Structure 1
Amino acid sequence: MTDTQVSGGSGVSGGSGAVVGTTGGAVRGRREDGLTVFRGIPFAAPPVGEARFAAPRPAEAWDGVREAYAFGPPPPQDLLVPGQAAAGSGDGDWLTVNVWTPDADPAARRPVMVWIHGGAYKLGHGGSPGYDARRIAADGDLVVVTFNYRVGMEGFARIDGAPANRGLLDQVAALEWVRDNIEGFGGDPGRVTVFGESAGAGSIAALLAMDRADGLFRRAIAQSVPGTFFSDELARDIGAALAAEAGLRPTVADLATVDPDRLVGAGQTLAAKMPGYTGRWGQAAPTVTPYSPVVDGDVLPVLPWRALADGASRDVDLVVGHNRDEFRLFVAMGGQLGTIGEEQAASALRMYAPGPGGEAAYRAAFPDAGAGELYEKVQTDWLFAVPTMRLAEAHLAGGGRAHAYELTWPAPGNGGGLGACHALDLPLLFGTFDADLGALLFAGAEPDEVALALSARFRASWTAFARTGDPGWPAYDTERRLVQVLDAEPAVVPYPEETTRRLWEGHEISVLPLHG
């Protein structure tokens, strides 16, 4: 095979796919199903050695043409199985991007969608089979980018000698790579939409509040925004506990000498102990997730809801939404479906319901709800539903425009008992029904015509928004409160969770503090 001559930023056909010149060097993609796909392109230097726990640094340039055929290795991460970790390659080449494009022609200037994956800030990567972006790129005739960012202790632990929120800084670096390079792949750097789910949506909320991300995207879609943001004091205390599990101090000098797998293991061990820290870590403790964005006053200056209400990113168009039964996924994964008793429900209500009379208010508002339903409902509301809708309201207050949705169609797996749970939007959006969580949510049930139609509607709405700023339903406002309900029969109606909204009215979202 002979390499095709390339010039900076141009895309020409050659070999098995187009060759594109980037700021790091030339890359060759592979033609697949009518698209050209580029995988594993470095957007930053490997964060190892002296660069470990540092802000991302520019990738080292290469000579010749790099075959961009394989996804880069995932960063070190938790696989949710104690003692088991997925670490990247020994050279730490974790910070890579992947591009799906209909045509690597700089003149095409198609809209660009950049996916930010979720995973509780401790797992996930852009090459995951569930994030195969071919259907979005093909159906929407646009360019889609996915990428890796540091997770877990590498990306989010608060340690001395390192910037906070390194995972968010990686995201900024990836978006800067898109700005500087995407034209050569047929994309328009002036029409970039970020979209993400769960921790990816929390990351987008943070990016909307970060000066470093100004101008890097024009539109944003935040699916199931978690409300967990740590105060700097809480993050430092958890960071010290994480390091202690590895027998170390929470410093770069100590932690940079340790194999990443050992730190993943420390995070797993601490997560199992977190419920015992309730008196010190409050609402963060039962989440068994020791990582979240940190409101450190520098990388993330203020809480996103406050930043948006003050007008940050008012020029960014926004879509936000959540699933009706978010928390049921975690109940199911913990083997607790149908087992939640009154004591557990009461404990959850006391921990998460707003205000001193929150438990009584929830019971009065949902008088027919059993223990299991109350347990799920209050945690769905606290963790996802309220933060998501409040993000829309904050954006409106700051002069922005937002559209809102709720997914109410139940997952067919487990006999439909999972409901419209957390992450159901992923297989629907990507059309990856048999990959990752899609295999659980659709277990034993082939996607029928309703599922396929809803999946197509997700992609049509998301890509229309990326193209025009209009997902196909009215913008949200605080008078009519119209949202798109995504179900077997989609409809635009006033927000269905009005009871929840009223229960939380006047209760401010705040950083999770350190107690005692």
Structure 2
Amino acid sequence: MASADVLVAAKGTKVTGSRLAVSSQLPHAVEAFYGIPYARVPRRFAAAETIALDGAGDIDARRQAPEQPQAEAAPHQMQEDLLRLNVFRLAAQQDQTRPKTPAPVVVYMHGGCFNFGSPLDREWPSFLAQGGREVLVVTPGYRLGPLGFLAGQSEQANLGLADQRLAVEWTVAWIGVFGGNGADLTLMGWSAGAHSIGHHLLSPSPLPFTRAILESGSPTSRSVMSSSHSRVVSQQASFAAHAAALSGSTASLAALPLGPLLRASSAVWEENEAALTWPFQPVVDPRCATLPASPLRLWHALLHSSRPRNLSVLTGFCSNEGTAFVPPDTTLRHFFSSLLPDLASTHLRGLEALYACVAPDDRLAAAYGDYAYKAPVLHTAHMLSLAGGRVYLYEHAVAPGFHGGQLPLVAASVEAPGQRRIAQAMNSRWAAFAAGQPLDWPVFQSPFTGAGLGELLVFGHGNDEALGGDNEGVPVGSRCLTAREMQICRFWWEHMDLSHGKGLRAGL
């Protein structure tokens, strides 16, 4: 609970935040600044414009601000014309001043399929207080759904990714006011946020960061279609039709009220949800600075470029990534024929053979989890290892091991005794990585080239407390990638281009 106000100033602008007092969950006091505007949106579907902190006027940042508009939420609880971010930092100890040395900074992009989500999707005060490192955390909102990822020929594509770039640039310029070092950045994301960080990592116009944390995400995860791909065009046509019908207007999408626009977004989402052909995703567009070509082509360009190779990356996956997504009563062949229509019959037979050893009820979940998350994460680890980066790989194995299960453990906001020990093992390593400190963690050496063992850390193997059990499991252990995991990766990597661009096989 907030116990006092805290004030920072930038050339006449005062930002008032809250000091969160020491409690059973917070062994250190934390200072929070909510809803600081970092950019304005001059009109719908337009590029955002940075708001300098010293030109923003006095800011009351003591309470959480409205979220970015998204489907299935009340428009009056949201704000379309401003982009905001939150800043968290450890409070100075009583009778002490703030450290004179600027602290490292984490800029976090939230998950939510690029259609939903919040920059407050985990307990950041707990993350900082339990980690105990002098690190600042910045969590921006960015435009979602059609407002951020409408990819028509006449619209600007990937506005949500451009918003993220602005948030990072704002952080570099202004985080010093809060005691942070804008030259010592870690970009961090989960799911869609991790996909985003991957796109920024590969961008020909790179952002100024030297560390990245990608939880259950990768630039090659799921589908990254061309803006002219038939699926993208069809979804956008459906969105326009729903918007016109729900608003009773023939006005342009830019002129419609927000409510009908969000309901139309929800309708298109529901049309595609079961098949997992999600609408309003980042697309390949030559006009986009972040994603001008397919991720596979951008990986190729990175490996053959002279860009610095000193990047450190912490990345990993959950044991059962696909379980929460796949529809019931659908065969492997039918599902992937719909998701990847250019997957040939011979490859579909190979897919069925690859997962024949998995129990029938678990087969589709295992395959989708590998396709969408695990194989792309390992592809990123492999490629960065080849590029000379330092990679730290993990598996989150706490049962049930679903997508996103690591969120409360990394934030150390759990109660069960075994999970608390697992959380301490994860939180301390994430915090140390963000602070640029040495890690008790083997560097991943890719086994796909024959040179490495593919070692990773496993957090929480055997823990079943979330399922009502009393097995506390092993907080942290290590293992190497198995021959089967490598076989699965090779299958999905071989067909990765079918999820990118026009969905057609093409050489690099």
TM-score class normalised by the smaller sequence: 0.7 to 0.9
Equivalences for residues 50-199 of structure 1 within 5 A: 50-59=42-51, 65-78=58-71, 84-87=72-75, 92-103=80-91, 105=98, 107-126=100-119, 128=120, 130-138=121-129, 139-141=131-133, 142-199=135-192
Cα deviation, 1:139-170, whole Å, max 9, x if unaligned, reads: 24211111110000100111344321100111
- How far did residue 346 of structure 1 move? 3.5
Distance 1:453 1:515, change over 3 A: closer
Which TM-score applies when normalising by structure 2? 0.81
2:489 to 496, 501, 515: 501
Letter of the 2:378 counterpart: M
Cα distance, 1:44 vs. partner?
0.4
* Structure 1 segment 298-337 matched on structure 2, within 5 A: 298-299=287-288, 300-311=291-302, 314-331=309-326
Deviation digits for residues 230-261 of structure 1, max 9, x if unmatched?
2121234432332122128xxx9811111222
Q: Which moved more, 1:505-514 or 1:253-262?
A: 505-514
The answer to whether structure 1 residue 424 and structure 2 residue 405 are counterparts is: yes
Distance 2:339 2:500 in 1: 12
CA distance in 2, matches of 1:363, 1:511: 19
How far apart are the structure 1 equivalents of 2:276 and 2:359? 22
CA distance in 2, matches of 1:509, 1:463: 35
Structure 1 residue matching 2:398: 3-state secondary structure: coil
CA 1:140/1:87 → structure 2, altered by over 3 Å: closer, same or farther? farther
Q: 1:503 to 1:90 in 2, by over 3 A?
A: closer
Q: State how many pairs are aligned.
A: 450
1:219 aligned residue (205, 211, 221): 211
Is 1:245 aligned to residue 242 of structure 2? yes
How far apart are the structure 1 equivalents of 2:489 and 2:150? 33
- Residue 492 of structure 2 aligns with an amino acid whose one-letter code is W
SS in structure 1 at match of 2:435: helix
Q: CA contact under 8 A between 1:42 and 1:93: conserved in structure 2? A: no
Counterpart position of 1:480: 453
Match of 2:271 in 1: 273
Change (3 A) 1:471 1:51: farther
Give 2:434's aligned residue: 466
Matched residue, 1:203: 196
TM-superposition CA deviations, 1:166-197 (whole Å, max 9, x none): 00111011111110111121211121111111
Identity %: 27
In the alignment, is the contact (CA less than 8 A) between 2:113 and 2:192 conserved in 1?
yes
Distance (Å, rounded) in 2 between the aligned partners of 1:431 and 1:508:
35
Superposition deviation, residue 17 in structure 1 = 3.3
Q: TM-score, normalised by structure 1?
A: 0.80
Q: Confirm whether residue 344 of structure 1 aligns to residue 341 of structure 2.
A: no
1:384 maps to a residue whose letter is: Y
CA distance in 2, matches of 1:238, 1:514: 15
Q: Quick one: distance in 1 between partners of 2:45 and 2:360?
A: 44
* Deviation at residue 102 of structure 1 after TM alignment: 1.5
> Does structure 2 conserve the Cα–Cα contact (< 8 Å) formed by 1:94 and 1:149?
no
Distance 1:306 1:403 in 2: 24
**Alignment check: 8 A CA contact 2:107 2:185 kept:** yes
The answer as to 2:380 corresponding to 1:391 is yes
Structure 2 letter corresponding to 1:200 = G
| TM-aligned CA distance change 1:24 to 1:472, over 3 Å | farther
Contact 1:305-1:390 within 8 A present in 2 as well: no
